[in-house]
Structures are given as structure tokens and as C-alpha cells.
Amino acid sequence: MYTAELSHVVAQHNLKFHRYADECQIYVSTLVNAVHRATDRFSCGLEDVEVWMTASRLRLNASKMQVMWLGSRHNLDRVTVSEVQVLT
């Protein structure tokens, strides 16, 4: 598949992803006390994905981009990150 190299870009930032026919989901799993480091790692990884996509003549669709937090109510109440930088 033409996006096979994308897995290497994502893995360099210790992120995970799922590929679908016309999209991919990039995600990170972390403990609450490491959420700021994980958010930084996610942002840097996404920047590298954008660089790779541009070099591969592909484009991120910013209108479909979403960032969401998943977890128990108790843990989500402890997350202090209010904003995630997804692209520069």
C-alpha cells in the first residue's frame, strides 16, 4: 500500500495507528501524570506525518481532524490539558 511507510513515521514517536480504506487514526495511550509528554509526542508525530504526506503528494484533511480524550470520568477530570497543537 502506498501509505506503508507511514507506519514508520508514526512509530518513531511511539504512537499507534489504524489504517482504513481512506483514513487513518493516530493515537497514544498514557497515564494521567504523563499526559503533557504524550500530548507533545502526539503533536510532534503529527507534524512529521504532515511532512511525510506532503513529500508523498498527499494532504491531511484538517476539516476532518479530531482530538478526543477517552478514559474513566475520574481520570478525565484529572486531565489538565485544555488545548492540543495539531498542526503549525
* Residues in Cβ contact with 47 at an 8 Å cutoff, skipping those fewer than 6 apart: 87, 88
Q: Does residue 84 carry a pLDDT above 90?
A: no
User: Is it the case that residue 85 has pLDDT exceeding 80?
Assistant: no
Q: How many CB atoms lie within 10 A of CB 86?
A: 15
Identify the residue with better confidence: 82 or 79. Answer: 79
What residue ranges do the domains of the chain occupy?
6-78
Write the pLDDT tens digit of every residue in 42-79. 999 989 998 998 898 888 887 788 888 899 999 999 99
Cα 52–chain centre separation: 14
Top pLDDT among 83 and 50 is at 50
